[in-house]
Structure 1
């Protein structure tokens, strides 16, 4: 009994003193408060130092990328992302850095925007082919192109008897033309919005004329070949960026150009009559030489739109070519007749669209469609009214397949295959360009 009372008294004493002990332990001392303030100050100092170091690392990385881009022909630097798991920088550091720069790598859309601002070399080469690149100071471009044209025409000279039998002569006329063009182009960027272009072509042409019905036989052919070579029409143009690309708007480029008639004009070239000896059935005329230019002054106004969809670009263009009438001392093809007069080529509308894909950093593929619609040309002999030239209007549509490959930091190889889709377009054309960026 005494032991039970003693245990009960001890337990009550302990319970009575417990709240006072807890209160004594929970009460902070001045030393604890001072230690907490010291630790908080050290933590804030470490955070500020870390943010400053991250900012300095980014600035240094941007400087290195800018230097490498200038050496490699690029201009837009990439940004060093923040290390994984890094704590957010304090407000002072965030105010000094661009907004949301630390989270740039965490968003797919922002990463795509960053790639758009700094396109790969292959995409930049593709943009240059569409005259939408303005960050290259000077480019010298050499190009060689070959085109093939082959057209056949059946000529009937007679009449149809009993609605089934043709009585008369049947002749087959065939024209085969090969053209080889070397073009030297210089492109100079005056500003981030303006580029001037100068194109100087040199042409070599060969045309073979064939006519069936030689000796009165439709299977026999008479043939004559003519050629011509020399300087083509020199063109001077300017590209001006009207609007820069945004999320909803493409790059918009205005093109203004002028072409001078420096090549051999097709007007006034004399034609010779071909008649094989002893053949009274075959007789046709061919020009003595082939022209290398249009012979008139032309002005070009075009508008292009280019939208970057990494890793591809989509482009489209539309334009108008005005041909100024020009007087010539002779526009007749008859060597016995000198006829002064004027020539007015039909104005031309052109448009096209396409897409270019980047395979990797150095190679891209482009697919495009282009079309040219030309009105009829007109001739006016001295003292006579204007007359339209029958068959001079044209619709030349072409499908183009191109590959661009960067050979080095300064040199690119551009190859293009064009396939004619209409009778007025060449059967096919093949061109190679080698631009060198200084």
Structure 2
């Protein structure tokens, strides 16, 4: 019976304290002689009530701590999900309440820190659903496994400015060029509108589907108009259509008992739904005084081949940051085309094999507050040389078709509503093969 009383002691103390609360509130408005104090404002009355409640709560917490810290009980004190204390008694002999006095102060409330989202959390420690995960999803393509379905719209503007030196002639005595030297410049502005849907098929499996719409406008500038080196002529054209649609699946590998890193493997497939660059004819510019400038009749919106990409991503949460890195390999399948030639008067059927590519990147997402995060990353793409083969001929290596494209990326994610976020991105090219810069904005919506 005594043991039962001791176990119920904290609850009885709390009930008694709440029962005495009206009395304490009444006493706060009376002086020591028992007369009512006049002229008391409602604000001061409520403040005294809150102070009385706070003191009663501290008293209850202290009594609970004394009961839990009793030396005659083998007690294990833990913290539950809500930060409340729990105890497990081993059933030792009973002692008077006065013997259960501890010098330890009452337990402080448990503090809750904002956990950074792991893109692809597992069942043991799932995704926390913060803005870091949205930043990684929108900028790196690594999915959040805790979202059942999300839909994303995005618009990206990319600018290219390339200059190339064209030598037309031959070398005499291996030192003197007999012919023409021409410096050509190509400026391209590209707008890409993306529609992306992501599905969480299970706690470890996710899939996405992307449809891009591409608009390209290119301007070609060349000197030599009217046989004058200082005179320039230019030409431009533009095209727009659906780009190469693509889809991917992601699988999060099970975590080890002591591992705090998420490993995600992925596979993507790209279809040649965009306008291929092969067979686009080059024509002379409309300027009759400059026959050095040839411009294409239209702009490509895809690369015209099937491709598959295998990737591996890893994420590590170090509150308030999420560190991530990825590695991928893209295999481009060869494909036959009715025409490979760029000459206006020639039709050359054959096959094209675009060089395979390695991609790598690393970065981090940092939470600025509970709604905003920033991300910074480095990305690089190493493209191998491409080859063309006319029907009945041999493969011909395309000089200059290999590339090394590296860029620095920065992004800012802000949660507009519990379901809608806004993601701004900026990419700056670090090598001549990379775009000069790219800016974009996306709006992921989670259902």
Q: Which residue number in structure 2 is paired with residue 253 of structure 1?
A: 264
1:296 match: secondary structure? coil
Decide which moves more: 107-116 or 283-292.
Answer: 107-116
Q: Pairwise CA RMSD of aligned residues?
A: 3.6
Q: Which residue number in structure 2 is paired with residue 88 of structure 1?
A: 68
The 5 A counterparts of 1:98-137 are 102=85, 119=128, 121-129=130-138, 130=140, 131-137=142-148
Q: Which residue number in structure 2 is paired with residue 369 of structure 1?
A: 378
- Contact kept in structure 1, 2:135 and 2:411, CA below 8 Å: no
Q: Structure 1 residues 107, 93: CA separation in 2 closer, same or farther (over 3 Å shift)?
A: closer
Matched, 1:208 2:219: yes
Q: Which residue number in structure 2 is paired with residue 329 of structure 1?
A: 338
The 5 A counterparts of 1:20-419 are 39-46=2-9, 86=65, 87-88=67-68, 102=85, 119=128, 121-129=130-138, 130=140, 131-156=142-167, 169-244=180-255, 248-274=259-285, 276-277=287-288, 279=289, 282-419=291-428
Shift of 1:213: 1.5
- Contact kept in structure 1, 2:205 and 2:249, CA below 8 Å: yes
Structure having the larger proportion of residues in helix: 1
TM-score by length of 2: 0.74
Structure 1: distance between partners of 2:338 and 2:355: 20
Shift of 1:265: 0.7
Q: Deviations over 1:206-234 (max 9, x none)?
A: 11111111112222111111211101001
Shift of 1:44: 3.2
Structure 2 spans left out of the alignment, 5+ residues: 15-59, 87-105, 118-124
Q: Structure 1 residues 296, 282: CA separation in 2 closer, same or farther (over 3 Å shift)?
A: same
Structure 1 spans left out of the alignment, 5+ residues: 1-37, 52-81
- Contact kept in structure 2, 1:302 and 1:317, CA below 8 Å: yes
Structure 2: distance between partners of 1:266 and 1:358: 42
Structure 2: distance between partners of 1:159 and 1:338: 28
Q: Deviations over 1:123-171 (max 9, x none)?
A: 2323433424101111010000010000123345579999999886543
Q: Deviations over 1:250-282 (max 9, x none)?
A: 1111111100001111111222123732x3x63
Q: Structure 1 residues 220, 96: CA separation in 2 closer, same or farther (over 3 Å shift)?
A: closer
2:265 match: secondary structure? strand
